[in-house]
Structure 1
Amino acid sequence: MKKIILEKSTLLTLLVTSGVFMGGSCVFAEEPVERFTLGEFVVTASRVATNKSDTPANISVITKESIADNNYSDAAEAISKIPGVNVLGSGAKGTSMGQDKILINGDERVLILVDGRRVNLGSSGNYSADWLPPVNAIERIEVLKGAGSALYGTDAVGGVINIITKKGSELESHVTVRAASGSWNTEQYGITAGGATENGLGIFVSASKDRRGNYSYKDIDGDVKTMPNSGFNTDGVNLKLDQQIGKDNRITMQFEHLNTEGGAPFGYYGITTTDKHKRLNNNLSMRYDWKESTDNSGYMQIYRNHHHAQFLSPDKDNKSDFIDSTWGVDLQQSFKLSEKNNLITGISYYKTEVNNDVMFDGKKEIDNQAIFLEDRWKFADSWQLNTGLRFDHHSTYGSELTPRISLNKKLNEDTNVYLSWGKVFKAPTVQDLYWKQNMPYEYNGVWYDSWTLGNPDLKPEKGNVWTLGTNTKISEKTNFTASVF
């Protein structure tokens, strides 16, 4: 299936996408702000800071200036402006029960990172756009389109989105306040404060509140009615402390809290249900970086992501209490082997526990161990060859090996052309393996049980991805990006 979209305003976009493993995209953009620029450094495509013209990948950057200039209300709105990125909502905000999926080039198998830390749920492999950090806490967003399994493992089939948050040590002391209001008693509030002490301790904190009352709508007769149980209320807090140690080392502690509650007016029998949902996210991480400004940089981080969802209903069959908790550790080291050769290697481990009596008959666990490396070799003045390999061992399905090879031709400081090949895989989630739910149905006045069951013997989805692409900066406000995959 092919889709062609033509749109002309301050942004002129031509986008062509097709399939999951075979298709293409072409983007021509004239913008009021410099949102997708070469000559800048990106970290997501190679896991280390690399000049964009030396990066053989389709990667877009949304800066904090772009977020402010366009007055985006949330991160989901910002990323949805990138051609090829869609946020698939299952209803209006609040009524979707926090399950808005993020798609890249039509693929929902997208890895979401916050400061390089995996946040996808182990139960479903997804991460809702509603849970992304608030815009007032974001330094920039990097969106990598295409295969990322060789460096990031599962979930990175369609691409990777890395939300990079602000550091107090990189900001002048400040306090900012944001407020907005709108229809249906909509209110948005946000406050941020940040700065650094004399001894190098950076502090950044943001708090936000987003609420809306019940929707109003016109029925078929044109009468205005209220949609009951359609409002929501969300509170969030982000805290980041970073302390410089010595000349080039840093320790960072980060805490993210999100508490949201909303109605679920849509049910089997119309829009009159009284079901509600509550979600609580508490994520904590500790990271140590060494030799930050050198070619031999590295880091180690430990993290814990905790997600608690409650589905409340007078109907006992619709009730559910769900906990998805992941803890993990990442270790990464870069080596400058010569003037033209750099190597990056690392290991990662994470373990997910999912506890739900309704869907999984109690607690289920999965864990994954991985080791990866990538070599970047500039074998000529304008040519670069990247070769990478990752080995994953999953507690349920076994092992997986994912290689990648990329060839990059740098035409000048503003233009590059690249060709890449890589294997991708998507590991089965807890939901795929152990889901158990009764979905009763009625036939001729009689109700029958209909069980949806997972398969503990599932193996990963696998594929091969070829990509041919180019990036060029035509002027300060015009960039051209094209890729066929």
Structure 2
Amino acid sequence: MKNVQSLRNAVMVSLLAGTTLVWGGTAFAQEDLQEFALEDMVVTASRVPTQKVDTPADISVITKEEIADQNYASASDALRAIPGVNVLGSGAKGSSMGQDKILLNGDERVLVLVDGRRMNLGSSGNSSADWLPPVNAIERIEVLKGGGSALYGTDAVGGVINVIMKKGSEIGNHVTVKAAGGSWNAEQYAISVSGSNDSGLGLIVSATKERRGEYKFKNANGKSQMLKNSGYDDTGVIVKLDQKVGEDNRIGVNFEHINADGGSPFGYSGFGNTDSHKRISNNVALRYDWNESSDERGYVQVYKNYQHAHFRSPVASRQSNFTDSTIGIEAQQNFKFSDTDELTAGLEYYKTTVDNNALYTGKRDINNKAIFAENRWEFAPTWQLNAGLRYDHHSKYGSEVTPKVALNKKFDENSNAYLSWGRVFNAPTTDDLFWYQPGMYPTYGDPNLKPEKGYVWTFGGNTKLNDKTDISASVFYSD
């Protein structure tokens, strides 16, 4: 249960390919200089493809080539390779519903997107790294650090992670099979099949299976002991179908399924208790893109995310069986006024319904409507000014306006420096608003909560030394 969070001040310095320092906390990490193939275009910072050198933001990219070269077992492993990104596991995998928090520059208020779709739960406001798509279906992962509320609204206080999936029509006929094993009867299997035809129809089917038995540990006496109820069994399936329409349009359908089942050995009933959990996730999305290769591109998409979680326990007070379901629609259009001036504008609506009889007094829902726009203006040679504004109207707390301004200086085609300021906000979740847990130590939500508000300053720069080496640095202050 979260209450209104107090204002926090932090000053952090991140050298994304060298040393990572955190001031005002307890973290200090040293990273080796990374060499990796860079993509020149990024999408997440401005919601449209933009050259990285023209992007006044702290953004990192993990490509499918990096994923393959480093043999990452999961998207979570790939994220951990980026300085400034922390994935906090809550014990052994499978032991607590796979709710691994993602932190960007120390902030857990991170918006997670898959192909631009909002994945954060309405109940907690978070999205676990354990629920990201399998690596064999990922084209690239973009990580935007710093306040993103002006374009993305709530949950984007610390930044945005956007997982962009492969398209069958672009990669053609391909089959990838993977099998791995390890200690404690651990097994991991993955298969990805893609195909396309001359009419522009593409299909990707990805299936994964991962399981492990109970594992051993050294007890206080130095003897090896089996930890009861510590195994897990996870299955995932992704189906993505896309069809070119005309010369420059595309329609796509996505379906994502996760079935996670495991024990919870560190529970209320003691060490190695018999608590267990089951989580089912079914997400579906329909998207239509037009003018894909044009500066005046746009899209509209509708989606539904569904999560069902069942906590099983012999102790009645620890049992919980709830669903978190979100339906959403968003549309966006880019306008090119001249070679030096363009505007991206859009609208968004989503409604989340949470049915949790264990912690709420019945079914609860919230909805949010928003419009947003960002103008990118090259007002002088090598100088660019980005100005963004978003208006949100929430069903419970009312309206919120979040502006952002960023200045970018391009020294050449491989180097830039930037300064940005933006307002951020974090809306109360259904847990914050409606939690109802009486008893000896009661906890109650507050239906009158207002959003947490603040602002973020960021100063940084990027330089591309060669095709394989990029150095970025940023300093930010958040309140």
Q: Which secondary structure does the structure 1 equivalent of 2:78 belong to?
A: helix
How many angstroms does 1:12 deviate by?
Answer: 6.6
Deviations 1:54-77 (A, max 9, x none): 000000000001001111110001
The question of whether the paired residues in 2 share the 8 Å contact of 1:345 and 1:371 is answered with yes
Match of 2:416 in 1: 416
Match of 1:330 in 2: 330
How far apart in 1 are the matches of 2:30 and 2:218? 38
Match of 1:129 in 2: 129
Instruction: Tell which deviates more after alignment, 467-476 or 167-176.
Output: 467-476
How far apart in 2 are the matches of 1:375 and 1:5? 27
How far apart in 2 are the matches of 1:455 and 1:238? 38
Deviations 1:450-469 (A, max 9, x none): 11111111000000111111
How far apart in 2 are the matches of 1:201 and 1:190? 24
Match of 2:460 in 1: 469
How many angstroms does 1:28 deviate by?
Answer: 7.6
How far apart in 2 are the matches of 1:45 and 1:171? 25
Match of 2:316 in 1: 316
How many angstroms does 1:5 deviate by?
Answer: 10
- What aligned pairs does 1:196-275 form with structure 2 within 5 A after superposition? 196-268=196-268, 270-275=270-275
Deviations 1:312-358 (A, max 9, x none): 01111111101000000000000001121000000000000000101
Match of 1:147 in 2: 147
- What aligned pairs does 1:84-483 form with structure 2 within 5 A after superposition? 84-268=84-268, 270-438=270-438, 449-483=440-474
How far apart in 1 are the matches of 2:283 and 2:17? 38
How many angstroms does 1:31 deviate by?
Answer: 3.0
Match of 2:7 in 1: none
Unaligned runs of 5+ in 1: 441-448
**Aligned partner of 1:480: which letter?**
I
Deviations 1:359-403 (A, max 9, x none): 112100100000000000011220110000000000000000000
How many angstroms does 1:222 deviate by?
Answer: 1.5
Match of 1:443 in 2: none
Deviations 1:121-151 (A, max 9, x none): 0000001111100011100000000010000
How many angstroms does 1:96 deviate by?
Answer: 2.4
Describe the shift of the 1:212–1:321 C-alpha distance in structure 2 as closer, same or farther (beyond 3 A). same
Q: Which secondary structure does the structure 2 equivalent of 1:301 belong to?
A: strand
How many angstroms does 1:98 deviate by?
Answer: 1.8
How many angstroms does 1:4 deviate by?
Answer: 9.2
The question of whether the paired residues in 2 share the 8 Å contact of 1:26 and 1:482 is answered with no
How far apart in 1 are the matches of 2:362 and 2:24? 37
Q: Which secondary structure does the structure 1 equivalent of 2:358 belong to?
A: helix
The question of whether the paired residues in 2 share the 8 Å contact of 1:27 and 1:481 is answered with no
Match of 2:36 in 1: 33
How many angstroms does 1:90 deviate by?
Answer: 1.2
The question of whether the paired residues in 1 share the 8 Å contact of 2:14 and 2:473 is answered with no
Describe the shift of the 1:156–1:5 C-alpha distance in structure 2 as closer, same or farther (beyond 3 A). closer
TM-score (norm 1): 0.93
How many angstroms does 1:3 deviate by?
Answer: 8.4
Describe the shift of the 1:180–1:210 C-alpha distance in structure 2 as closer, same or farther (beyond 3 A). same
Q: Which secondary structure does the structure 2 equivalent of 1:359 belong to?
A: coil
Describe the shift of the 1:140–1:5 C-alpha distance in structure 2 as closer, same or farther (beyond 3 A). closer
Size of the aligned set, in residue pairs, is 467
How far apart in 2 are the matches of 1:24 and 1:164? 30
Deviations 1:217-276 (A, max 9, x none): 111212111000000000000000000000000000000000000000102353121000
Describe the shift of the 1:294–1:325 C-alpha distance in structure 2 as closer, same or farther (beyond 3 A). same
The question of whether the paired residues in 1 share the 8 Å contact of 2:41 and 2:49 is answered with yes
Q: Which secondary structure does the structure 1 equivalent of 2:98 belong to?
A: coil
The question of whether the paired residues in 2 share the 8 Å contact of 1:84 and 1:106 is answered with yes
How many angstroms does 1:89 deviate by?
Answer: 1.3
Unaligned runs of 5+ in 2: 1-9
How far apart in 1 are the matches of 2:124 and 2:31? 35
Q: Does 1:43 align with 2:43?
A: yes
**Aligned partner of 2:101: which letter?**
K
How far apart in 1 are the matches of 2:341 and 2:12? 41
**Aligned partner of 1:390: which letter?**
R
1:13 to 15, 18, 28: 18
Match of 1:444 in 2: none
**Aligned partner of 1:210: which letter?**
E
The question of whether the paired residues in 2 share the 8 Å contact of 1:170 and 1:195 is answered with no
**Aligned partner of 1:462: which letter?**
K
Q: Which secondary structure does the structure 1 equivalent of 2:266 belong to?
A: coil
Q: Which secondary structure does the structure 1 equivalent of 2:380 belong to?
A: coil
**Aligned partner of 2:444: which letter?**
L
Q: Which secondary structure does the structure 2 equivalent of 1:30 belong to?
A: coil
How many angstroms does 1:481 deviate by?
Answer: 1.0
The question of whether the paired residues in 2 share the 8 Å contact of 1:75 and 1:134 is answered with yes
The question of whether the paired residues in 1 share the 8 Å contact of 2:378 and 2:384 is answered with yes
How many angstroms does 1:215 deviate by?
Answer: 1.1
How far apart in 2 are the matches of 1:260 and 1:122? 20
How far apart in 1 are the matches of 2:258 and 2:47? 27
- Aligned CA-pair RMSD: 2.0
The question of whether the paired residues in 1 share the 8 Å contact of 2:35 and 2:469 is answered with no
Describe the shift of the 1:457–1:408 C-alpha distance in structure 2 as closer, same or farther (beyond 3 A). same
Identity %: 60
The question of whether the paired residues in 2 share the 8 Å contact of 1:275 and 1:312 is answered with yes
**Aligned partner of 1:410: which letter?**
K
The question of whether the paired residues in 2 share the 8 Å contact of 1:264 and 1:274 is answered with yes
How far apart in 2 are the matches of 1:56 and 1:136? 31
Match of 2:77 in 1: 77
